[in-house]
Chains A and B, each alone.
Chain A
Amino acid sequence: MTKELKIVVLAKQVPDTRNVGKDAMKEDGTVNRAALPAIFNPEDLNALEQALRLKDRYAGSTITILTMGPARAAEIIREGLFRGADNGYLLTDRAFAGADTLATSYALAMAIRKIGDYDIIIGGRQAIDGDTAQVGPQVAEKLGLTQITYAEEIVKIEDDRITVKRHIPGGIETVEGPLPIVITVNGSAAACRPRNAKLVQKYKYAKTQTEKAENQLKYADLYKNRDYLNLAEWNVNDVKGDIAQCGLSGSPTKVKAIQNIVFQAKESKTITSADKEIEDLIVELLNNHTIG
């Protein structure tokens, strides 16, 4: 079968919470985004790799990166292009700011509708800044599509049905679903391939309109002759969004209070290397579900 797949990868730019330094949080308990490098959400990279593998396997397939965020989130689209995506859209508007998962999935779903032609919508299971794992499933619901979550590997696509291995507690489950479909990918899936030198050289000057307007534009001629260097930005109107359902106003989630948690060891226990003591410790940890 040589199906040419249209794949949309949902990707988010997130603060790198894996490398938290002492300035990571502000005094009011919110994330100090300036102190953390902005990165491609790790599980979204796993999702991109699954998309790229489909593109390797089914010649003629295309990958579109869809990301929502401020102007600098265009970096996510470039990162996608560097690895083999074909194009991308940055969903950016003040009206999208402050969105919870419901408003985010609304905006993404509207953008996907505008993209129109798609077989697979694939993203990471969750983002490392919010850890909700809600956006993928909500997008599926809003678009009325089947969803497969916790995917680890796409096995095959045959007769418009997709077979996916998903990660479940204690094992792997193989499931099948109809196209078009929404898939969220688990971090245990294959790591994303490196950036490709030729694609980096091809796309390194790719910019959105906002970025082009920011500083003195180097190589201005290139943007006239090489259209693929012009990255598309969409605002609320472009995706025919209802402002009431976007951003803060579309977000029923309210943060009531934020507490700063400092982990402290309150009690300690000394055990020797005797077999019996080690065994007791294992039993204790199993019983209180720390392990197992």
Chain B
Amino acid sequence: MANFYTDNKDMQFHLTHPLMKKIVELKEKNFEDKDKFDYAPVDFDDTMDSYHKTLEIIGEICGEIIAANAESVDHEGPKHENSRVIYAEGTQQNHEALQKAGVYGISLPREYGGLNFAMVPYVMAAELVSRADAGFANIWGLQDCAETIHEFASKEIQDEYLPRIPKGDTCSMDLTEPDAGSDLQSVQLKATFDETQNRWFLNGVKRFITNGDAHIKLVLARSEEGTKDGRGLSYFVCDNNHDDKILVRRIENKLGIKGSPTCELVFRNVPAKLVGERKLGLIKYVMSLMNGARLGVAAQSIGLSEAAYREALKYANERAQFGKEIINFPAVYELLVTMKARLQAARSLLYETSRFVDIYKAYNLISNERKLTPEEREEHKEYQRLSDIYTPILKLFASEYANQLAYDAIQIHGGSGFMKDYLVERLYRDARILNIYEGTSQLQVVAAIRGVTTGAYLNKIRKYEANLTAPELATMKEQLATLTADYEKAVTLVIEIKNQEYLDFHARRLVEMAGHIIMSYLLLLDAQRNNEYAKIAGVYIKLAAAWNEERFNYIKSLKFEDIENFKSVI
């Protein structure tokens, strides 16, 4: 019996992080649900045990059902019939298995039929599903929409929509349009309010909508006639009754994640309800939803990376050339070690970010019920800031690493990896969207550069440094101090020019330098909790030093005055 959770001790290690105690306490609020729901936990240990056991269930479904269906789903794909989407048979089976296992609505409060799980185990579930089938992970992951409804919609809307999610209703978030991709401010789908019927109606077109034929849809639409920017957009929730009001015009034929239907949709006078306040659609709600989605893509990336690493390792151990298994050749084991270092580093960053999101989201919910104390307010703000700067850097690294790992996994397979007979070719195709959707890597840099310029990354790095006290890790800590000093120099070199274009030009390099240092520290802190992780930290720090030096050199050599010349080449 394959179980993607029990066979992954690294994931289990992250579940035991000391901060979980605080997260669980905030999430379970004195375990007040224990007398109301027979499945609510009675204390911290009980909660952790439930996380563990539930991930075991999901791990089994991933190993036994979703992974087994992945190939046929990739080949078959969803069908487009009568303006509707029909899932591939395997997709339907996956969905039903998870629904019967009672894990949809994993993060929703129990009063809506959810499990009230923290972000960390929720993200772990997403990683597990993605390792089995990154395309299916979208259908699973879109239950994120429930989070948005829960956070921002009225009680009436919550009561109407949320209980349907654990029962298996799927969701989609309908943002993109033909002329509004990265630039969502240009969304044109029209929302008009009908005074006589006292409701909103949606009309227009959406494009590239993942799981577009879902039951419950969150739609970004222009509610303020005559406006042109993001301040004229509001957020709506509507039902897709699979009638002639919402039509699927086509399903895109994609390079990868073929099981996840990507739809072009026509809205014809669809009755809808306003989520939260008018005009805050893009600037508040979609931004929040997007952060959740980016965390989801990061989990998807790491799940896929795990699959790529395992496939490559297995093949390298089995395949013999020149009289020995190819894993014995430096050229091959170096690839494998680097793959593993990237995987572990990105995973540490994933769960660090998830913990930040957990704490700030828990405070969000508590603040709806009562006033936070001044200390709590301070903490709330602090973790929100951390979530905001960690999410883009996480999404950037996790998705780029996933592509690198998929690439390396094929390389290790040689010619066989290029054939459809091996899993890695699908991983390679599936990975390619990860650094594009929910904000390209280039846009993640735009969001993350603030962490560089405000000194927020550096502050956090200093805190990691202070928390790292294990004497056996002192040498590696010193190495990181050197890397940090170089990073500070690089930042100063760029910032002192005081030119936006120059900053934008080197932004990715600076963000990446910060990221390498942050991930190095996270791996060292892992090693401080469990010495087994010291080796991988050592490997990653050596890589980080080399990568940062390369970036630093380029920044030093490509000066502000070189930019014009540089551009003139094209």
Please report A residues at the B interface, Cβ cutoff 8 Å. Answer: 193-202, 204, 219, 222, 226, 228
Which residues of chain A come closer than 8 Å to B50, judged between CB atoms?
197, 200-201, 204
The 9 closest A-B pairs by CB, nearest first: A201-B39, A196-B102, A194-B101, A197-B102, A197-B54, A202-B39, A198-B39, A193-B100, A198-B102
B97 near A193 with CB under 8 A, answer yes
Any A CB within 8 A of the CB of B60: yes
Please, how many angstroms separate the alpha-carbon atoms of A198 and B97 in the complex? 14
B41 near A194 with CB under 8 A, answer no
Please, how many angstroms separate the alpha-carbon atoms of A200 and B115 in the complex? 12
Q: Mark B96-119, 1 if CB is under 8 A from A, else 0.
A: 010011110010000000010000
Most buried by B among A201, A202, A226: A201
A194 near B60 with CB under 8 A, answer yes
Of the candidates A196, A202, A222, which one forms a contact with B101 in the assembled complex, judged by CB atoms under 8 Å apart?
A: A196
Please, how many angstroms separate the alpha-carbon atoms of A197 and B61 in the complex? 12
Which residues of chain A come closer than 8 Å to B101, judged between CB atoms?
193-197
Please, how many angstroms separate the alpha-carbon atoms of A9 and B54 in the complex? 25
Any A CB within 8 A of the CB of B38: yes
Please, how many angstroms separate the alpha-carbon atoms of A276 and B40 in the complex? 67
Which residues of chain A come closer than 8 Å to B49, judged between CB atoms?
204
B42 near A219 with CB under 8 A, answer yes
Whole-angstrom distance between the Cβ of A278 and the nearest chain B Cβ: 23
Please, how many angstroms separate the alpha-carbon atoms of A193 and B60 in the complex? 11
Any A CB within 8 A of the CB of B57: yes
Please, how many angstroms separate the alpha-carbon atoms of A194 and B63 in the complex? 12
Please, how many angstroms separate the alpha-carbon atoms of A161 and B3 in the complex? 41
Q: Can you list 29 A-B contacts (CB < 8 A)?
A: A193-B100, A193-B101, A194-B61, A194-B100, A195-B57, A196-B57, A196-B101, A197-B50, A197-B53, A197-B54, A197-B57, A197-B101, A197-B102, A197-B106, A198-B115, A199-B102, A200-B53, A200-B54, A201-B41, A201-B50, A201-B53, A201-B54, A202-B38, A204-B49, A204-B50, A204-B53, A219-B42, A222-B42, A228-B38
Please, how many angstroms separate the alpha-carbon atoms of A193 and B97 in the complex? 7
Please, how many angstroms separate the alpha-carbon atoms of A219 and B42 in the complex? 9
Instruction: Identify the closest chain A residue to B43 (Cβ).
Output: A219
Whole-angstrom distance between the Cβ of A29 and the nearest chain B Cβ: 28
Instruction: Identify the closest chain B residue to A84 (Cβ).
Output: B100
Q: Mark B34-46, 1 if CB is under 8 A from A, else 0.
A: 0000111110001
Which residues of chain A come closer than 8 Å to B61, judged between CB atoms?
194
Please, how many angstroms separate the alpha-carbon atoms of A250 and B57 in the complex? 41
B97 near A194 with CB under 8 A, answer yes
- Residues of B50-66 at the interface with A, using a CB-CB cut-off of 8 Å, are 50, 53-54, 57, 60-61
A226 near B38 with CB under 8 A, answer yes
Whole-angstrom distance between the Cβ of B40 and the nearest chain A Cβ: 8
Whole-angstrom distance between the Cβ of B63 and the nearest chain A Cβ: 11
Which residues of chain B come closer than 8 Å to A204, judged between CB atoms?
49-50, 53
Interface residues on chain B, size class? 20 to 34
Which residues of chain B come closer than 8 Å to A219, judged between CB atoms?
42, 46
Please, how many angstroms separate the alpha-carbon atoms of A204 and B51 in the complex? 12
Which residues of chain B come closer than 8 Å to A202, judged between CB atoms?
38-39
Which residues of chain A come closer than 8 Å to B100, judged between CB atoms?
193-194, 196
Whole-angstrom distance between the Cβ of B82 and the nearest chain A Cβ: 29
Which residues of chain B come closer than 8 Å to A199, judged between CB atoms?
39, 102
- Residues of B166-210 at the interface with A, using a CB-CB cut-off of 8 Å, are none
Please, how many angstroms separate the alpha-carbon atoms of A197 and B102 in the complex? 5
Whole-angstrom distance between the Cβ of B24 and the nearest chain A Cβ: 14
Which residues of chain B come closer than 8 Å to A196, judged between CB atoms?
57, 100-102
Please, how many angstroms separate the alpha-carbon atoms of A219 and B97 in the complex? 31
Which residues of chain B come closer than 8 Å to A226, judged between CB atoms?
38
Please, how many angstroms separate the alpha-carbon atoms of A178 and B61 in the complex? 37
Please, how many angstroms separate the alpha-carbon atoms of A66 and B299 in the complex? 42
Instruction: Identify the closest chain B residue to A204 (Cβ).
Output: B53
Instruction: Identify the closest chain B residue to A18 (Cβ).
Output: B1
Please, how many angstroms separate the alpha-carbon atoms of A228 and B38 in the complex? 10
Please, how many angstroms separate the alpha-carbon atoms of A195 and B100 in the complex? 8
Which residues of chain A come closer than 8 Å to B46, judged between CB atoms?
219
Please, how many angstroms separate the alpha-carbon atoms of A197 and B106 in the complex? 9
Please, how many angstroms separate the alpha-carbon atoms of A226 and B41 in the complex? 13
Instruction: Identify the closest chain A residue to B60 (Cβ).
Output: A194
Which residues of chain B come closer than 8 Å to A197, judged between CB atoms?
39, 50, 53-54, 57, 101-103, 106, 115
Which residues of chain A come closer than 8 Å to B97, judged between CB atoms?
193-194
Whole-angstrom distance between the Cβ of B100 and the nearest chain A Cβ: 5
Whole-angstrom distance between the Cβ of A244 and the nearest chain B Cβ: 41
Instruction: Identify the closest chain A residue to B57 (Cβ).
Output: A195
Apart from A194-B101, A195-B57, A197-B54, what are 10 other A-B pairs with CB-CB below 8 Å?
A193-B101, A194-B97, A195-B101, A197-B53, A197-B101, A197-B102, A201-B40, A201-B41, A201-B53, A204-B50
Instruction: Identify the closest chain A residue to B110 (Cβ).
Output: A198
Please, how many angstroms separate the alpha-carbon atoms of A230 and B371 in the complex? 42
Please, how many angstroms separate the alpha-carbon atoms of A66 and B46 in the complex? 28
Which residues of chain B come closer than 8 Å to A201, judged between CB atoms?
39-41, 50, 53-54, 115
Please, how many angstroms separate the alpha-carbon atoms of A201 and B49 in the complex? 9
Which residues of chain A come closer than 8 Å to B54, judged between CB atoms?
197, 200-201
Whole-angstrom distance between the Cβ of B101 and the nearest chain A Cβ: 4
Please, how many angstroms separate the alpha-carbon atoms of A226 and B101 in the complex? 23
Which residues of chain B come closer than 8 Å to A194, judged between CB atoms?
57, 60-61, 97, 100-101
Which residues of chain A come closer than 8 Å to B60, judged between CB atoms?
194
Most buried by B among A195, A198, A228: A198
Please, how many angstroms separate the alpha-carbon atoms of A204 and B60 in the complex? 17
Instruction: Identify the closest chain A residue to B49 (Cβ).
Output: A204
Which residues of chain B come closer than 8 Å to A222, judged between CB atoms?
42
Instruction: Identify the closest chain A residue to B40 (Cβ).
Output: A201
Whole-angstrom distance between the Cβ of A197 and the nearest chain B Cβ: 4
Which residues of chain A come closer than 8 Å to B103, judged between CB atoms?
197
Please, how many angstroms separate the alpha-carbon atoms of A200 and B41 in the complex? 11
Whole-angstrom distance between the Cβ of A7 and the nearest chain B Cβ: 18
Which residues of chain B come closer than 8 Å to A198, judged between CB atoms?
39, 102, 115
Whole-angstrom distance between the Cβ of A202 and the nearest chain B Cβ: 4
Whole-angstrom distance between the Cβ of A235 and the nearest chain B Cβ: 29
Instruction: Identify the closest chain B residue to A52 (Cβ).
Output: B100
Please, how many angstroms separate the alpha-carbon atoms of A201 and B101 in the complex? 12
Please, how many angstroms separate the alpha-carbon atoms of A96 and B61 in the complex? 36
Most buried by A among B49, B97, B102, B115: B102
Instruction: Identify the closest chain B residue to A205 (Cβ).
Output: B46
Instruction: Identify the closest chain B residue to A39 (Cβ).
Output: B1
Which residues of chain B come closer than 8 Å to A228, judged between CB atoms?
38
Whole-angstrom distance between the Cβ of A156 and the nearest chain B Cβ: 21
Instruction: Identify the closest chain A residue to B106 (Cβ).
Output: A197
Instruction: Identify the closest chain A residue to B101 (Cβ).
Output: A194
Which residues of chain B come closer than 8 Å to A193, judged between CB atoms?
97, 100-101
Which residues of chain B come closer than 8 Å to A195, judged between CB atoms?
57, 101
